[in-house]
Amino acid sequence: MSIAWIGGLSYLTVWMVTVIGYTLGIPDSVSGITILAAGTSVPELVSSVIVVRTGLGNMAIFNLLGSYIFDILFCLGVPWLIKTLM
């Protein structure tokens, strides 16, 4: 059931960003890079703020660094691997 909610809300989010971008005359690629990328970073920001308020600043820093390192290595590495294998 959770996967259905995530899929539905993701579809709704992308659709709304597309409509807003079309209304303002912004290309889909620019909307995706700016609005959607910022939106996906909000949960990490909120969790880091909560962790810092509890007094664990090191944990917040390593959470952000680890998350971005994983995103870069996985989100770039997997498509490059697939392209190389094809």
Q: Which residue type is seen at 69?
A: I
Helices vs. strands in the chain: H and E counts, helices first: 4, 0
pTM attached to this predicted model = 0.55
pLDDT in tens, 2-13: 889 988 988 998
Three-state DSSP at 1 gives: coil
pLDDT in tens, 20-40: 889 999 888 888 888 887 777
CB 63 within 8 Å of CB 51? yes
| Alpha carbons 32 and 18: distance in angstroms, whole number | 8
pLDDT in tens, 32-86: 888 887 777 788 888 888 989 998 888 888 888 888 888 888 888 888 888 888 8
Backbone angles phi, psi at 54, to 5 degrees: -85, -5
Can you spell out the DSSP letters for 14-28? HHHHHHHHHHHT--H
Residue with tokens 């659709």: 15
